[in-house]
Amino acid sequence: MSAYGLYPCPYPDEIFPCVCSFIEETRDIILDCSDANSSSDISSALNDAFWFTNRLKMFYLGDDDVVEELSEGVFKRVTFEIIDVENAKVASIHPSALLSSQDHLKVVQIRLCPMKEFPWDTLPQLTSLLALYLKNNRLTAIPSIQSPSLQSLVVSQNRIFKLEAGWQAPNLTALIMSGNPITGFPHGFFEGFDNLVQFDCNSCKLGPTLFNGTLNFRSENLTELSLIHNNISTIEPDAITGLTPNTVIYLEANHITELTEEAFRPMLDVLSYGNGYIDLWDNPIMCGCSMAWVVVEPYYFGRVLGYCHDGNSMEDLDPDVFKKFCIKMNPPMPGEYSTWIDLD
């Protein structure tokens, strides 16, 4: 149940065109300003009306094609736990719009807006901020982020091509960057992510070669690495390091044809101690003798999922066939990596 224009909401005329809702079950106050024509309309509703409390649960602005900014002082007299702006014309957010709630703000969502820049410098002062969702905007760069509290950052479907290293986000567990023209990461980019659990960069521009040192993780909690649809055809040795035994690596919908032992064995050595695996669905993998090292080793076999180029499932490959028709060449390659060839 919710109430409009009843305690603790002001009278509707005082905050028009915004609407206040009081959710009785949770005792939350929601302010919806989707019918506002300007940032001034929003400011008047918040700063000119009488509010019984200055702590509101959520500010919402959606499907609005008029308001272009959240200006200085717009939220001067009240604080929010959640700021949610979606499918709107908002292109800029003044730092004060966030800092007015700096001790209480937990979630900020700005999506489907023409926003090119975000006030990143406010993050160190937003000491309660847990989640920042900035999907489907027009951001092009992310600086070195400093946040003591942030747990989830989603910047998918922007235009980001520039990243800075030196982040200090010790509590960040999820970093989602999918759908951006990211071609690589600066040296040391992942060093500040000690508790990272999930990293997604699907439909980025990391291919055709994933170079040595591209993804050097430092978290003991990493369980998901997703690089789906990146036009990757070659993975260099040590391109992906810092995995945990339970990391699942999603490499679906790329152009990988061969599981080179130098690149994949170090990963499988780690994954074999837990529940982790590598998902290679929708890659044109040639399941010849070059991948015998995977098939004949029980610790590796079953931790690589996908279909071969000829349509056979990797899980259905017969180790005895590979032992019969493939031969291991000696001496081994540098690093004790082997080369398998056809017996004929």
**Matching residue, tokens 């339970």:** 246
Beta partners for 224? Answer: 198, 248
pLDDT value at 48 more than 90:
no
| pLDDT score of 283 more than 80 | yes
Read off the tokens for 70: 């959240």
Candidate CATH numbers 3.40.250.10, 3.80.10.10, 2.60.40.10, 1.10.1200.10; the one for domain 59-342: 3.80.10.10
| Distance linking the first and last C-alpha atoms of the chain | 76
Hey, CA dihedral for 191, 193, 196, 200, is it positive or negative? negative
Name the pLDDT band for 341 (thresholds 50, 70, 90). low
| Percent of the chain surpassing pLDDT 90 | 80
- Split at pLDDT 50, 70, 90, the class of 3 is very low
Amino acid at 247: T
Residues in CB range of 339: below 8 A, 6 or more apart: 328, 329, 332, 333
**Residue 2 to residues 9, 10, 30, 61, 83, Cα–Cα distance (Å):** 11, 14, 10, 19, 20
According to DSSP H, which parts of the chain are helical? Answer: 12-15, 39-47, 95-99, 261-271, 292-295, 319-325
Mean pLDDT of the chain: 92
What value does the mean pLDDT take over residues 169-180?
Answer: 98
The 10s digit of each residue's pLDDT in 80-108 is 999 999 999 999 999 999 999 999 999 99
* Tokens linked to 3: 């109430």
Residue 254 zone, left/alpha/beta (φ > 0; ψ -120 to 50; rest): beta
pLDDT tens sequence across 187-225: 999 998 999 999 999 999 999 999 999 999 999 999 999
Paired strand residues for 69: 92
Q: Where are the beta strands (DSSP E) in 248-319?
A: 248-250, 277-279, 304-305
